[in-house]
Amino acid sequence: MSALFSPIDLRGVALPNRIVVSPMCQYSAEDGRATDWHMLHLGHLALSGAGLLFVEATAVEADGRITPADLGLYDDATEAALVPVLAAIRRYSKSKVAIQLAHAGRKASSYVPWEGGQQIPVAQGGWVTSAPSAAPHKDGEEAPAALDAAGLARVRDAFVATAKRAVRLGFDAFELHGAHGYLLHQFLSPLANQRTDQYGGSLENRMRFPLEVFDAVRAVVPADKPVGIRISATDWVEGGFDVEQAIAFALELKKRNVDWIDTSSGGVSPLQKIPVGPGYQVPLADAVKKATGLPTMAVGLITDAQQAEDIIASGKADFVALARGMLYDPRWPWHAAATLGGEVDAPPQYWRSQPSDQKQLFGKTVGGAR
């Protein structure tokens, strides 16, 4: 049996394979509300046969959006907008659906990527961002406001409120976004966190707020639903957050029964030097898995079926999560199954599409129409 197409359980959620569609920001929401684009985009990917499908990073408060066009889940209107999208996925797809709860911190108030992606000044319609410290992401940007005790409580409560809405919507799995230079990562990294109170300085202190948020979210998610976290296991900057600190953080999360560590990297500093190449972040997932025994997701330039199979078969990670590769080839799991001798679920409307030499692809043999 193909390792990539072997089943696995996350608490009470049974997944038929180890393929994950990563959360991918679409910058196509209206005041945080999902639109027809989300129906098309997620509906398309829901037919891929992947075991787990993430919607994009979803802001827990309006000021936590990366851009004004980010998806949110922080009021009744944003909750209602996701109802028809999820209903369509449920009707036609067997993929489990996950949500990534996010807050951009000091990287909020930005233009969408195709408009340059830079910070929107307050005078031009942006907003004052929040962060561990009043230090901008890069020189020339407006400084964020350092979160005080009330601000920390507000953000933590926003994560909880969004988690409750996601539970009500029926999501199967939940992930905190603690990577890519966004708020929870900003607390973890000494490059962004310059606090001198109990939330800054030592690694123990820098972990404190992300762990508080995790505990608060885990407390409101049903016990049979898994909760994981995405981390940047290294900042790729000397003196920043690194894999040893990431392992220490993961061990603290293990005490709290975290269900997986989605292992990415970078994003907190423009000084980063990332050695980009095929599977370049897989060693980070491998290191975290070996040191903690926790399930890990490997991400980053995983594009080839045999490459993905080898990652799972060798025990370097328990899942492979694809983003750009899935956008380029939304039927990537079908093609991987054909290559590796696996089987995927597909809607009956597509059963006749399987090639004559791949009749096992969907586990179905379908005759022609009269």
pLDDT of 251 > 70? The answer is yes
Question: Which range is least confidently modeled, 120-129, 308-317, 355-364?
Answer: 355-364
Burial 154-178 (b: 16+ CB within 10 A, else e): ebbebbbbbbebbeebebbbbbbbb
The pLDDT of 182-204, averaged and rounded, is 98
Q: Which pLDDT does position 143 carry in this prediction?
A: 97
Selected catalytic residue, list 182, 199, 328, 350? 182
Interatomic CA distance for residues 29 and 43, integer angstroms: 16
Quick one: pLDDT band at residue 235, thresholds 50, 70, 90? very high
Give the per-residue pLDDT at 364: 61
Q: Tokens 């980063």 correspond to what residue?
A: 272
Distance (Å, whole) CA 312 – CA 369: 39
In angstroms, what CA-CA distances link 292 with 28, 114, 174, 252, 260?
38, 39, 20, 10, 11
Decide if pLDDT at 150 tops 80.
yes
pLDDT of 6 higher than 80: yes
Taking only the tens place, the pLDDT of each residue in 61-108 is 999 999 999 999 999 999 999 999 999 999 999 999 999 999 999 999
Q: Decide which of 194 and 346 is more confident.
A: 194
The secondary structure element, H or E, covering residue 228 is: strand 227-232
Token pair 């492979």: residue: 320
Is 74 among the catalytic positions?
A: no
Q: Give the chain's mean pLDDT.
A: 95
Condensed to tens digits (0 to 9), the pLDDT of residues 288-318 reads: 999 999 999 999 999 999 999 999 999 999 9
Of the candidates 183, 234, 187, the residue with the CA atom closest to the CA atom of residue 206: 187
- Helices (H) and strands (E) counted in the chain, each on its own, are 10, 12
The answer regarding whether domain 8-353 maps to CATH 3.20.20.70 reads yes
Percentage above 90 pLDDT, the chain: 92
Phi, psi of 86 (to 5 degrees): -70, -35
Q: Which amino acid is at 242?
A: D
Cβ contacts of 35 within 8 Å, gap of 6 or more: 28, 29, 81
Residue 31 region by backbone torsions, left for phi larger than 0, else alpha for psi between -120 and 50, else beta: left
323 SS3 class: coil
- Give DSSP secondary structure letters for 134-191: S--SSTTSPPPEEP-HHHHHHHHHHHHHHHHHHHHHT-SEEEEEE-TTSHHHHHH-TT
Given a cut of 50, whether residue 369 has pLDDT beyond it is no
Statement: residue 19 has pLDDT above 80: yes
From 282, 363, 268, 368, select the one nearest 322 (Cα to Cα). Answer: 282
For 286-307, b/e burial (b = at least 16 CB within 10 A) is bbbbeebebbbbbbbbbeebeb
CB 297 within 8 A of CB 317: yes
Taking each helix axis from N to C end, the angle separating 76-92 and 149-169, rounded to the nearest 10 degrees, works out to: 40
Indicate the pLDDT class of residue 370, thresholds 50, 70 and 90. very low
pLDDT at site 359: 66
* Residue 350 confidence (pLDDT): 87
Q: Is the pTM of the predicted complex or chain greater than 0.85? A: yes
pLDDT class for 32, splitting at 50, 70, 90? very high
- Residues 10-32 as b/e (b if ≥16 CB within 10 A, e otherwise) read bbebebbbbbbbbbbbbbbbeeb
Q: How far apart are CA 143 and CA 136, in angstroms?
A: 5
* Cα–Cα distances in angstroms (integers) from residue 299 to residues 76, 106, 135, 311, 324, in the given order: 33, 24, 29, 11, 11
